[in-house]
Amino acid sequence: MTISREDVEKLAQLARIDLSEAEKESLTKEMENIIAFVDELKTANVNLDDHATVGVPHNVMREDTNPHETGMYTEALLNSAPAQEDGYVKVKNIL
């Protein structure tokens, strides 16, 4: 498949970019090289074993349980914050 100058101009129009004559010529050559490379990849002989795995898949997530009582660390966390108000960590307004 070859890329024509008109193809590059159409793509530039769709992308809403202005190209100089030199850029159009350069892109035409570059795109032809890219397509030639993709065609070369299509002919590559690749043998894939669909059943090959690295290891046994397993669930890496922990069980959804309560590891500690609610509020167990709240007081220590609030005491370590620079400022607190009504049981919340107070921070500066960003907006």
Q: Whats the size of the chain, residue-wise?
A: 95
50, with CB counted inside 10 A (0-12, 13-18, 19+), is exposed
CATH number of 5-42: 1.10.20
Q: pLDDT tens-digit profile of 24-82?
A: 999 999 999 999 999 998 888 877 766 666 677 777 787 777 777 888 888 899 999 99
Beta-carbon-side half-sphere exposure of residue 1 (alpha carbons within 13 Å): 10
| Residue of 56, 2, 66 lying closest to 31 (CA atoms) | 2
- Model confidence, pTM: 0.46
Rounded to 5°, angle at Cα 16 from 10 and 22:
65
- Sorted by where each begins, the domain ranges of the chain are 5-42
